[in-house]
Amino acid sequence: MSIARANRMTPYLFLAPAGLVLLIALFYPICYMIYASFLDWNPSQRIGEADWVGIRNYVKLFSDDAFRESMWVTIKFAAVVVTLEMIIGVGLALLLDRNIRGMSVLRTLFILPMMIAPIVVGLMWRYMYHPTVGIFNQTLTSWGFEPIPWLSDGSWAFASIIIADVWQWTPFIFILSLAALQSLPSSAIEASKIDGATGWQQIIYIKLPLMLPVLIVTLLLRLIDSFKVLEVILVMTNGGPGLSTEILSIRINRTASEFRELGEAAAMSNLLLIVLLILTFAMFIYNKAQELRAQRLRAAAEDTE
């Protein structure tokens, strides 16, 4: 009797440590952040001394132009960056999906940017964008062109951080899509060849549709990541000039350390978390839908046999 019960309990006992870690490491901080977002709390106070202000922080955020601007910059940034990275990353993968000598060396070279610490990436690009001694402007002036105000003009600065991010994260999409390409069933591709499909037709009608599940997951991962990017932009522009590159995570950082409003910063983080949760759920639902569809197709195929 008791042995049977102990047996039933065993899985839960094994799960308990993991559950406990999850509870302490994940739920506690999140609950703390949610609680803090209802407080008027400055860093010189202990949390117990902070005043409860209800949803004032949230109300304030939605009427705050700077926050709305920063939200817009973030969305714009994420959209542009992810689109560019997807196009270039998948394009590169399609180009390099063949047997070239030294391919493994090339692949390592391609993913190098991803391996560099973000602060270093930021510093590196900042020096390259330097108005006088930076390599870009020096090259431009030596070719007789006007130097470009890379980081000192709002629109250029926005373009500059996009270039840096694309440089750093395209390899991520590249290796994932290359892996997807190489695991495609060769039978389908061979069949299309026999049917006389051109290279483009192969890509558009065979490869891309087959890669789609991987591509969607990659896209969502990058999208989530691009909403949270901080260090590179912090080092390069610190959100300036004006608010032109002040993405949400920089705004949160400034709100906490410069404006000393921990409550408001927590409220912003919660909003960011909600946006990311929606994206994650979208990914989850898409995966589920794909699975169901595959099951249905398999079932249909089995029926017809």
**According to the binding rule CB under 8 A, does residue 72 interact with another protein?**
no
Minimum distance from residue 147 beta carbon to another protein (Å): 7
Select from 247, 230, 82 the least CA-distant residue to 169.
82
State which residue, 163 or 208, has the beta carbon closest to another protein: 163
Task: State which of residues 93, 151, 176, 252 lies at the interface with another protein (CB under 8 A).
Answer: 151
Helix (H) or strand (E) holding 280: helix 262-304
Would you say how long the chain is, in residues? 305
Task: State which of residues 239, 263, 267, 275 lies at the interface with another protein (CB under 8 A).
Answer: 239
Count how many Cα atoms sit within 13 Å of the Cα of residue 19 in the half-sphere of its side chain.
6
Q: Is the Cα torsion angle 11, 15, 17, 20 positive or negative in sign?
A: negative
Question: 100-105: which pairs have CB atoms within 8 A and are 24 or more residues apart?
Answer: none
State which residue, 113 or 154, has the beta carbon closest to another protein: 154
Count how many Cα atoms sit within 13 Å of the Cα of residue 39 in the half-sphere of its side chain.
20
Minimum distance from residue 246 beta carbon to another protein (Å): 8
**According to the binding rule CB under 8 A, does residue 153 interact with another protein?**
yes
State which residue, 107 or 130, has the beta carbon closest to another protein: 130
**According to the binding rule CB under 8 A, does residue 263 interact with another protein?**
no
Applying CB under 8 A, what is the total number of residues that bind another protein? 31
Q: CA geometry: angle at 131 spanning 126 and 132, to 5°?
A: 115
Minimum distance from residue 152 beta carbon to another protein (Å): 4
Which residues from 21-60 bind another protein, rule CB under 8 A?
42-46
C-alpha–C-alpha distance, residues 188 and 182, integer Å: 13
Q: For residues 177 and 260, is the Cβ–Cβ distance under 8 A?
A: no
Q: Largest Cα–Cα distance of the chain, in whole Å?
A: 89
**According to the binding rule CB under 8 A, does residue 19 interact with another protein?**
no
C-alpha–C-alpha distance, residues 109 and 121, integer Å: 16
Task: Tell me the two tokens of residue 98.
Answer: 């063949």
Task: Tell me the two tokens of residue 193.
Answer: 């060849």
The helix/strand/coil state of 261 is: coil
State which residue, 46 or 98, has the beta carbon closest to another protein: 46
Minimum distance from residue 242 beta carbon to another protein (Å): 4
Minimum distance from residue 156 beta carbon to another protein (Å): 10
CA-to-CA separations, 251 to 142, 215, 262, in angstroms, rounded = 38, 30, 12
**According to the binding rule CB under 8 A, does residue 242 interact with another protein?**
yes
Task: State which of residues 27, 52, 205, 259 lies at the interface with another protein (CB under 8 A).
Answer: 259
CA 86 centroid distance within chain: 12
Minimum distance from residue 130 beta carbon to another protein (Å): 7
State which residue, 155 or 295, has the beta carbon closest to another protein: 155
Q: Name the residue type at position 148.
A: I
State which residue, 46 or 101, has the beta carbon closest to another protein: 46
Binding mask 102-141 for another protein (x = CB under 8 A): ----------------------------xxx----x----
Site stretch for another protein (CB under 8 A), options 114-122, 208-216, 255-263, 297-305: 255-263
**Residues binding another protein (CB under 8 A):** 42-46, 66, 130-132, 137, 147, 149, 151-154, 237-244, 246, 254, 257-261
